[in-house]
Amino acid sequence: MVLRAAGRVLPWLALAIPAGSSAAPPNAEAVPELVVPVQALRIADDDGARRAAIEPAQVARWVEYANGVYKAAGLRLVFDPEHGAFDDLRSTLINSVMPDENATPESFRDSAQQIRETSAKYPGRMVVLFRHGAGPNPTGNGFSDRSSPCVVMPGFECTTACSRQNIALFAHETGHYFGLRHTFRYRHKTVAEAEQHLRDLGGDPAVFDLDGFADTAPDPGIDEVGCSEVLTVRLNGIDLPLPRGNVMAYLDSPTLSISPQQAARVRWVARWRKDRGMAPSNSAPAGAGTTVLECEDLPWTARGLDAKEQPMTDFGWYVWSGERQLLCMADREGAQITIRFQVQTGGRYAVDLYGTLAPDFGIIKVRLDDGLPSAPINLYAPDVLVSDRIPLGDKMLAKGEHRLTVTVSGQCKESAGWRFGLDCVKLRAQKAK
């Protein structure tokens, strides 16, 4: 018996073959609209061969379908090929990128870098890369993730679900891009396989839940019922309703939608993306004259908290600087940490802090040397995300040692804790005035 851990956190690489077709249900509640422009790029190899089989009208159909699904989140994607939103790009590297469960940050490095550089050319837009795939035959799958700078898609007619063109694929990948996980944690071929696995896991169907949302049923992820109309499966005598009709399941349905909790998450992550140019990152390449100080590598002293270096590759690849942060495990207001760093060349610098947002993170204030504390910085997010650039202002920094003191100053009502994460500080040398 092979159990494929499809829900394993593989940032960027949430493989998707969802089923479904037709229109989405009407919007129930009125929420202020979040408008996101889509930038489509049709990829071919460096020599122009193996061009992805996608036309602007097909992108428009995928976008229209996704808009039906995400109307419940107040999200509207706008695709305007008449004004540059559809472009061609030659890159064998991007054209060949495929999700692979054996992928590692190292094996993905070159593709990730080129994908991020490409996406960065379209700030404020949701970049969608249509590529051919790794082999001579076109791929049918797509992928994205909340930490990804873009959505990666196949050609329109190259992807099928339940023997039909997969009109829901883009809506599904858009869900990943805006922070949604699958409804299932594992994939099973048959009901019997899921039954056995559930027994092995102790019998509580809650183990099948991946997304943490109470309003999406814990999905046993059974392939053999995907293209059926089965609404409930019985596992070890327990009747499990399937989340058929949910865009983040792999279950065929004439209509697809999102739950209220999914809608709230999409909205939150869409806001987070929009506020940061759509592709937030703590690890964008530093230009000349910029010094990157990794917080996890600097000496520190603390009062009222302990801190440790934390690898961040479980939460996203190539978005945290150095792929690690300094996790500060504060459990109360007033706890603080002081990080010391050296300035090699005295002068005026724009000082930027890059940190982490998480469900149990608090509100911090940051002080450089003996200066005034910053305005409160809220590090809460419903999922683990990068902060992107937090400007601390222009400062005169003399050659020698300096201190950055971070104090917990509060907690927003949604947060489950007082912790915080510091990724890096970037010092951008400013011209003398």
Point out which residues bind Zn ion (CB under 5 A). Answer: 14, 16
**CA-CA distance, 369 to 398, in Å (whole number)?**
11
**CA-CA distance, 129 to 155, in Å (whole number)?**
10
What are the phi and psi torsion angles at 394 (to 5°)? -85, 130
DSSP 8-state secondary structure symbol assigned to residue 156:
G
Count of beta carbons in the 10 Å neighbourhood of residue 344: 8
* Residue in 145, 209, 352, 383 binding Ca ion, rule: CB under 5 A: 209
Q: Which is closer to Ca ion, CB of 167 or CB of 296?
A: 296
Q: Of 285-324, which residues contact Ca ion (CB under 5 A)?
A: 294, 321-322, 324
Indicate which of Ca ion, Zn ion, none lies near residue 178 (CB less than 5 to 8 Å, by partner kind). none
> Which one-letter amino acid corresponds to residue 51?
R
**CA-CA distance, 426 to 404, in Å (whole number)?**
12
Shortest gap between Cβ of 323 and Ca ion (angstroms)?
7
The CA-CA-CA angle for residues 237, 239, 245, to 5°, reads 150
Where residue 102 falls (left for φ over 0; alpha for ψ -120 to 50; beta otherwise) is alpha
Stretch that binds Ca ion, among 122-130, 167-175, 214-222, 393-401 (CB under 5 A): 214-222
* Residue in 193, 195, 352, 423 binding Ca ion, rule: CB under 5 A: 423
Shortest gap between Cβ of 175 and Zn ion (angstroms)?
7
Under 8 Å between Cβ of 36 and 268: no
Shortest gap between Cβ of 325 and Ca ion (angstroms)?
5
Token couple for 350: 């724009």
Q: Which residue is closest to Ca ion by CB?
A: 216
**CA-CA distance, 15 to 250, in Å (whole number)?**
11
* Residue in 103, 249, 424, 425 binding Ca ion, rule: CB under 5 A: 424
Indicate which of Zn ion, Ca ion, none lies near residue 347 (CB less than 5 to 8 Å, by partner kind). none
Q: Which is closer to Zn ion, CB of 193 or CB of 211?
A: 211
Shortest gap between Cβ of 250 and Zn ion (angstroms)?
8
Indicate which of Zn ion, Ca ion, none lies near residue 195 (CB less than 5 to 8 Å, by partner kind). none
Q: Which is closer to Ca ion, CB of 156 or CB of 213?
A: 213
Under 8 Å between Cβ of 300 and 339: yes
Indicate which of Ca ion, Zn ion, none lies near residue 14 (CB less than 5 to 8 Å, by partner kind). Zn ion
Size of the site for Ca ion (CB under 5 A): 10
Q: Which is closer to Zn ion, CB of 243 or CB of 362?
A: 243
Indicate which of Zn ion, Ca ion, none lies near residue 16 (CB less than 5 to 8 Å, by partner kind). Zn ion
Reduced to 3 states, what is the DSSP secondary structure of residue 371?
coil
Check residue 383 for interaction with Ca ion (CB under 5 A): no
Q: Which residue is closest to Zn ion by CB?
A: 16
Check residue 259 for interaction with Ca ion (CB under 5 A): no
Shortest gap between Cβ of 66 and Zn ion (angstroms)?
14
**CA-CA distance, 104 to 207, in Å (whole number)?**
26
**CA-CA distance, 207 to 210, in Å (whole number)?**
8
> Which one-letter amino acid corresponds to residue 429?
A
Reduced to 3 states, what is the DSSP secondary structure of residue 207?
helix
Check residue 376 for interaction with Ca ion (CB under 5 A): no
Q: Which is closer to Ca ion, CB of 147 or CB of 216?
A: 216
Token couple for 18: 């969802």
Q: Which is closer to Zn ion, CB of 216 or CB of 321?
A: 216
Check residue 388 for interaction with Ca ion (CB under 5 A): no
* Residue in 111, 216, 310, 407 binding Ca ion, rule: CB under 5 A: 216
Shortest gap between Cβ of 50 and Ca ion (angstroms)?
37
What is the DSSP code string of 140-190? --BB--TT-SEEEE--GGG-EETTEE-TTHHHHHHHHHTTPPPSBS-BBSS
**CA-CA distance, 258 to 149, in Å (whole number)?**
22
Shortest gap between Cβ of 297 and Ca ion (angstroms)?
8
Q: Which is closer to Ca ion, CB of 111 or CB of 183?
A: 183
Cβ-based neighbours of 81, under 8 Å, separated by 6 or more: 40, 56, 59, 60
Segment (H or E) for 387: strand 385-397
Segment (H or E) for 64: helix 56-70
Shortest gap between Cβ of 226 and Ca ion (angstroms)?
18
The CA-CA-CA angle for residues 255, 256, 260, to 5°, reads 130
Stretch that binds Ca ion, among 103-111, 139-147, 203-211, 256-264 (CB under 5 A): 203-211
Binding site for Ca ion (CB under 5 A): 209, 211, 213, 216, 294, 321-322, 324, 423-424
